[in-house]
A and B are shown apart, each in its own frame.
Chain A
Amino acid sequence: QKEVEQNSGPLSVPEGAIASLNCTYSDRVSQSFFWYRQYSGKSPELIMSIYSNGDKEDGRFTAQLNKASQYVSLLIRDSQPSDSATYLCAPRGTGRRALTFGSGTRLQVQP
């Protein structure tokens, strides 16, 4: 089992729709979770962090965490073509100082 699992996609949504990106992780004691956006040919960029169960909203982005289910998701409301990128999920396990990245979900927003 991979430490972090993400559907590779592509996930295609029309402009203005909600994009839902999912991630499961194997380390039951992971304490903090990060979402990164990576445009083609560019390096990853931090967009959200979440530490507690529930939802965290920042602009058009909402991160959702369910530690019991070892599941974290990212919702993007009012999706724009500029949101087309690969989204990487990265939990940090207890006792680990480095993040473990999933392979990412490629999102395509159709104009």
Chain B
Amino acid sequence: DTGVSQDPRHKITKRGQNVTFRCDPISEHNRLYWYRQTLGQGPEFLTYFQNEAQLEKSRLLSDRFSAERPKGSFSTLEIQRTEQGDSAMYLCASSLDVDGYTFGSGTRLTVV
């Protein structure tokens, strides 16, 4: 297993455009998490899946953000009508039950 894979590594988009990121977790991990991190801050929780069910979503997450995990395998995170404040590193992590996470390399989003 090659770990958690995220695609793309970098994304530059114009304000107002929609973007979608993909995460492939470690195959035997049943839990998948999305976090966002800005410079000098720790990762900020966005949402969490156990298998295909989205069980928790941050109150800070606006309606412009949506995530899916069809069939309990890979996950996608979509941001609609991007804003400059969405510029950040988007991190995906996976775990087996309550074990510690393994993070992917992240997708760096720049909104211009």
Q: What's the least CB distance linking A86 to chain B, in Å?
A: 9
Q: Which of A42, A49, A88 contacts B43 (CB 8 A)?
A: A88
9-residue interface stretch from A12-20, A53-61, A77-85, A95-103: A95-103
Instruction: State the interface size on chain A (CB cutoff 8 A).
Output: 22
**Is B42 touching A46 in the complex (CB atoms < 8 A)?**
no
**Is B98 touching A44 in the complex (CB atoms < 8 A)?**
no
Q: Which of A44, A97, A102, A104 contacts B56 (CB 8 A)?
A: A97
If the complex has contacts A97-B31, A97-B55, are A92 and B98 also in contact, measured as CB distance less than 8 A?
Answer: yes
Q: What's the least CB distance linking B44 to chain A, in Å?
A: 8
**Interface: A25 (CB within 8 A):** no
**Is B42 touching A101 in the complex (CB atoms < 8 A)?**
yes
Show the binding face of A for B, using Cβ within 8 Å: 4, 8, 32, 34, 42-46, 49, 88, 90, 92, 96-104
Q: 22 interchain pairs (CB within 8 A)?
A: A8-B40, A34-B101, A43-B89, A43-B91, A43-B103, A43-B104, A44-B43, A44-B101, A46-B102, A96-B56, A97-B31, A97-B55, A97-B56, A97-B98, A99-B101, A101-B42, A101-B43, A101-B44, A101-B45, A102-B42, A103-B40, A104-B41
